[in-house]
Structure 1
Amino acid sequence: MTAYPARSDAFTLTAPVRLWEEGFATDPYAYYATLRAQGPIGWAELAPGIFAYVVTDRRAALDLLHDTETFSVDPRPWERTVSEDSPVLGMMRWRANALFADGAEHVRYRTTMLDAFDLVEPHDLRERVHRAVDILVSRFGPRGEADLVTEFARPMMALIFNSLFGLPDTESGRLDAALGAMMEGGERSAQGEAEYGRYVMELIAAKTAERGDDLTSRLLDHPLELTPEEVVWQVFLMLGAGHEPSANLISNALSRILGNPAYYSTLTSGARPVMDAVMEVLRYETPLSNYGVHFARESTSFHGMWLQAAVPIVISFGAMGHFAEKDFAGAHHPHDASHMSWGAGPHACPVKQPALLIATGAIERLTQWLPDLDPVLPRERLEWRPGPFHRSLRALPVRFTPRTPDRTPALTPGPAAESPTDQAGDRA
């Protein structure tokens, strides 16, 4: 059984926009235009038989995200109407963490996350980024060619988050593969969710047995005393939210940079900051394009639409970025105010600055090692991974002058880094 609005809902007369189709991955903007034509809130299908309202208007999104009395992030009333094998449950099912909690419970969970990340110094995070880039360039640099998605952006985020949470590099491949499968929302979603769950449980078991200077240990020892289950789901959220969108942010930014030779030359010469490219992605091609799922506590009228209770309401950050020029109508705005990639209201991203540091630091370090990156395919021929939630490249093949980094910094804290030779067989 699936959640579908009652016959009185106007959307029952409107064909849902199928965000699970391959065509959406290829050209999401045509789908966003169809949704926007329905009004501030459109009607979509996230997976076959799984329907949702999709907010494409900035004002409506802001009103919803700040209205905690009318709307909740708790999916359990909806979840009871959905088959257990639904491919979107990996991204939408209830868990005891900050993403799915309201009110005081949400504040408690969010506080533990903020306190854990506050102890990560920017210089330490930058060193972890540089170390991860150096390891990966040492693997593919001598070949003179690479896929900057599967050999750089995704394994780099796995390396960084393994070290932040207290696991060795050898576990990074599991994290990358599991999150990728779960995020796509397809037939491999359940398998990815199960593997990711095993990864998290093994991580917490290791840290329970022996603490370290890492995020997992800080959650376990936090004075707010999370239960063992709460620690599991907080880690589940923090790793997933940190790895997948950040990897896509980096690869999407690199594809935009490399697709414009004039732009690339200004970045490699230092005349233009990498942050400009990252901000372009956050505005026009945000990596988590449709999420921020809410539910009306009771059926209600909102921005001219009748919203049924217990039906998902998805915020389309991707659509709002696409229509930003029209919505702002040339008005002056702060550097990042024309996008909503960080969300808004009580559930806005709590670790915006670390995410920006990782993305910009990774691209800067990569282009320092390999200043002549040359895309194999024009940008319009690149393929995108299917899925209703993300904007994610399948591959970004490049060529460059072969290069071997002359050093690979040691991991601190945690186990010593393996040499590039030792790691060559560990494809993350």
Structure 2
Amino acid sequence: MTTPQPAASRCPAHAAARPSHPLPIYGPEFSADPHATYTLLRAQGPITPVEIAPGVWGYLTTTYRSALYLLRNTPNRFAKNPRHWQALVNGQVPPDSPALFMMQPRDNALWMDGAEHARLRHAITGSLVRVDTHALAATVTKIADQLIGTFASAGVCDLVGQYADPLPMLTMIEVFGSPPDIGQRIAIAIARLFDTDQDAAAANIDLEAACLALTHLKRNAPQPDVTSWLIEAGLTDEEMVQTILLVIGAATTPSSNLIMNSLQRIITDLRFAGSVHAGVQPVSDALDEVLWTDPPVSNYSPLYALGQQTFEGLVLQPGYPILVSFAAANGDPTLGIDPGSYAGNRGHLAFSAGVHACPAPDLARIIAETAIERALDRLPHLALATDQLVRRPGTFHSGFTALPVRFQPAAAPAPTGR
């Protein structure tokens, strides 16, 4: 006789009379072509059960309407706090699951509801609004030129490992006033959390330790930087650790993905390849298209139904995480958006929506646009060096493991006379 599973650990497909074997949104097959899976899921309904990670069950939105409905009805019908995740409360989430470390409770604004969310989000927005956008663009330009200078004379490089990955990290190190060693520890650990095939538990420990070290440093010696401004807002050490993790996490790997996805589009798409270089189309147009068609964060913002909820006839059971698929929403064919009309269209959900929307999308665009423009300016005749691009693990984000390119090498600098 088979012992029945506790109700909280069952796949929501059983509770909601949905497909008995929900499709996985992890693994090499999914990462290679996630939109094929989104199409299959969309045929099942606007919100459908999925396997988020091995042994981790939940729902995924598949349409623009469903994503927007959930985001706009947070927190009155759907909560952000993962303490509503019944399998987590019951200890049924595998302790080494990559989903756990991307979705577990943390004392920052992303995972809070109501007054606590408002307090912590105000600390973030109040700090980020003090960032000088002109200085930020200058910082990105300086870092971009330094990175490009290390490979410009070679005529070949990997635009992920040598450019798109380190650039946001180095930028945030300066914006947060972090010493290079602490900043690098933070960024590397965040990247390991996003890449769901990495050791998430060890990455989480490293990340929190580095954020605490930065907090202690700035409490003792505050400066005009985001870390010090967050401290001014009255956050505790634990809140500081989790808020630094949140803000830098949102600005590093997602920004890297946005830069690399946009560069890949500009290099390979004839609509952009010549016109962007010639100045006929601005980089911002390519950026808008990528935010629509290949958003850097593909599936995230887990929500939890407050009691049984119904959307378009589908019953959503409480206790299960509902991931918002920004990629599936933006690609929803019922939107009827002409591919040529993405430029200037900010109706995408790449920066989320509602009370938990990205608090500083303009800063993200400054980082990405400046980085892309410097690469195009400094690397003439940029072209892919391979047609075998590999996607990163795609459960939560969308990007490439590498972007090998070739270009016209810059002349080697003349030797310095003595």
Same fold (TM over 0.5): yes
Q: Which of 395, 398, 405 is the matching residue for 1:391?
A: 398
Q: Which of 234, 249, 253 is the matching residue for 2:243?
A: 234
Contact 1:328 1:338 in 2 (8 A): no
Aligned to 2:158: 147
Aligned to 1:414: none
Q: Residue 88 of structure 1: SS of its match in structure 2?
A: helix
TM-fit CA distance, 1:328: 3.1
- After superposition, what is the alpha-carbon deviation per residue over 1:108-128, rounded to whole angstroms, capped at 9, x for unaligned? 111111111111111010011
Aligned to 1:30: 36
More off after superposition, 369-378 vs 66-75: 369-378
TM-fit CA distance, 1:291: 0.7
Aligned to 1:61: 67
Distance 2:353 2:412 in 1: 41
Aligned to 2:355: 346
Q: Which of 75, 78, 81 is the matching residue for 1:74?
A: 81
TM-fit CA distance, 1:198: 2.0
- After superposition, what is the alpha-carbon deviation per residue over 1:285-315, rounded to whole angstroms, capped at 9, x for unaligned? 0010001110012122222111111100011
Equivalenced residues, count: 400
Alignment of 1:328 onto 2:339: no
More off after superposition, 328-337 vs 32-41: 328-337
Q: Residue 53 of structure 1: SS of its match in structure 2?
A: strand
Q: Which runs of 5+ in 1 are unaligned?
A: 407-428
Aligned to 2:186: 175
- Summarize the Cα distance change of 1:405–1:296 in structure 2 as closer, same or farther, 3 Å threshold: farther
- Summarize the Cα distance change of 1:16–1:202 in structure 2 as closer, same or farther, 3 Å threshold: same
TM-fit CA distance, 1:404: 6.6
Q: Which of 41, 47, 53 is the matching residue for 1:41?
A: 47
Q: Residue 20 of structure 1: SS of its match in structure 2?
A: coil
Q: Which amino acid aligns with 2:122?
A: T
TM-fit CA distance, 1:321: 1.8
Alignment of 1:301 onto 2:310: yes
Distance 2:187 2:300 in 1: 20
- Summarize the Cα distance change of 1:3–1:341 in structure 2 as closer, same or farther, 3 Å threshold: farther
Contact 1:165 1:214 in 2 (8 A): yes
**Within 5 A, what are the aligned runs for 1:128-207?**
128-207=139-218
Q: Which amino acid aligns with 1:41?
A: I
Contact 1:182 1:191 in 2 (8 A): no
Runs of 4+ in structure 1 off by over 4 angstroms are: 329-334
Distance 2:379 2:56 in 1: 44
- Summarize the Cα distance change of 1:405–1:206 in structure 2 as closer, same or farther, 3 Å threshold: farther
- After superposition, what is the alpha-carbon deviation per residue over 1:170-219, rounded to whole angstroms, capped at 9, x for unaligned? 44543332122101223422222222222212211211221111100111
Aligned to 2:409: 402
Q: Which of 216, 219, 227 is the matching residue for 1:216?
A: 227
Alignment of 1:119 onto 2:127: no
Contact 2:55 2:94 in 1 (8 A): no
- After superposition, what is the alpha-carbon deviation per residue over 1:129-176, rounded to whole angstroms, capped at 9, x for unaligned? 101101101111122211001110110011000111112334454333
- Summarize the Cα distance change of 1:107–1:404 in structure 2 as closer, same or farther, 3 Å threshold: farther
Q: Which amino acid aligns with 1:130?
A: T
Distance 1:66 1:122 in 2: 29
Alignment of 1:367 onto 2:373: no
Alignment of 1:18 onto 2:30: no
Contact 2:96 2:200 in 1 (8 A): no
More off after superposition, 79-88 vs 252-261: 79-88
Distance 1:405 1:64 in 2: 55
More off after superposition, 125-134 vs 336-345: 336-345
- Summarize the Cα distance change of 1:353–1:329 in structure 2 as closer, same or farther, 3 Å threshold: closer
Aligned to 1:413: none
Aligned to 1:88: 99
CA RMSD in angstroms comes to 2.0
Distance 1:403 1:172 in 2: 30
- Summarize the Cα distance change of 1:260–1:200 in structure 2 as closer, same or farther, 3 Å threshold: same
Contact 1:24 1:31 in 2 (8 A): yes
TM-fit CA distance, 1:63: 1.5
